[in-house]
Amino acid sequence: MEISNMRTAKYYNNRDIQIEEVPVPEISEDEILIKVIASGICGSDVMEWYRIKKAPLVLGHEIAGDIIKIGKNVKKYKLGDRVFVSHHVPCNTCYYCLRGEHTACDTLHNTNFDPGGFAEYVRIPSINVDRGIFLLPDEVSYEEAVFIEPLACVVRAHRIAQMSPGKSVLVLGSGISGILHISLAKATGAGCITATDINENRLKLARHFGAETIISANEDIPYGVRQANNGRLADLVVVCTGAISAFVQALQSVERGGTVLFFAPTDPGVSLPVPVNDFWRNSIKLVPSYGNSPLDADIAIALIKAKRLPIKEMITHRLPLQDIGLGFKLVSEGNESIKVVIEPNG
């Protein structure tokens, strides 16, 4: 049966997401139409200063679903395939991609699917079809697949920060990104793992998912890390919150020869004073990480398939599309939720 219209959730601001009916996108002979089964709300979706300038729009980039329509020139996939789709894809041929810096690629920053994952159906443009579709193994459910993109971002971050077994880790901010960093560090053999947050519930969750020590963000973080880590600061400090106080704490909590990984951004226009002389003398590295590459997505899928991380336990809410306003409220407040999954066709 041909479907002419679909529901979307259009974002105006964090408190105003409206269900609107629009035509189902038409596809070309090089494109694919996906029925969205599960779509995760990302922390960046509720980062209002970042999203509001493009509003109104349909957000959602952590999607899994079924191929229900396929262009005649598409040969790699078939109707009914269960897939995860990357919204941003690199060109693989530019100066940055050839140096392994795929997330700096202009193409990656300017690709997306249509209209967004908070919709019943999405059109996958030809470039995304070519390099952004990943078949789901039978062992990976749709709701687990919404973690592929956020986990791939964490995989890339650990790779470029040269994370390795035995290193001590401090995670500042224990929302979903922090939880994924903690879980991946535990799964890959980290030494002492310490987590912070201002929220008591999140601290309990951080401990549940692998942090040996939890510290309130209002306490003396360097002192707490030394107490937990045999007198040493952390080899890898991961900043998973935009609070400037966390960035300052990160600079104070890194061990000699260690790395500070900036996984979250600050608000626009914020500058961070860095003790350059101390860091120069002590061989401390500052590393930012944004996004992921196709390789990182492959690794994330393998980790989820092998059940190396307790992904399903991280899902706290499953909501139909009409309740997406509640989902945004839960994620933006950050009190009760870890991962909120929207089911557009549920």
pLDDT in tens, 48-57: 988 988 999 9
Predicted TM-score (pTM) of this structure: 0.96
Beta strands in 198-332, from DSSP E residues, in sequence order: 213-216, 234-239, 254-262, 285-288, 315-320
Q: For 271-324, what is each residue's pLDDT tens digit?
A: 999 999 999 999 999 999 999 999 999 999 999 999 999 999 999 999 999 999
Task: Using CB atoms within 10 Å of the CB of residue 236, give its burial: 0 to 12 exposed, 13 to 18 middle, 19+ buried.
Answer: buried
Q: Is 221 in contact with 198 (CB distance < 8 Å)?
A: no
Mean pLDDT of 2-6: 87
Residue 20: is its pLDDT beyond 60?
Answer: yes
Every domain of the chain and the residues it spans: 5-152+292-343, 162-288
Asked if residue 3 has pLDDT above 90, the reply is: no
Q: Which of 27, 53, 41 is nearest to 113 (CA)?
A: 27
pLDDT, one tens digit per residue, over 70-85 is 999 999 999 999 999 9
The answer on pLDDT for 207 being more than 90 is yes
User: What's the CA gap between 135 and 206, in Å, rounded?
Assistant: 31
- For residues 11-22, give the mean pLDDT: 96
Phi and psi at 341, nearest 5°, equal -110, 125
Fold of 5-152+292-343: Quinone Oxidoreductase; Chain A, domain 1 (3.90.180)
- pLDDT > 90? residue 138: yes
Distance of CA 27 to the CA centre of its chain: 28
Q: What percent of the chain has pLDDT over 90?
A: 94
Report the CATH superfamily, name and number, of domain 162-288: NAD(P)-binding Rossmann-like Domain (3.40.50.720)
Give the pLDDT of residue 50. 86
> Residue 1 above 60 pLDDT?
no
CA distance linking residue 64 with residue 69, whole number of Å: 15
* Residue 60 confidence (pLDDT): 97
Q: CB count, 10 Å around CB of 21?
A: 9
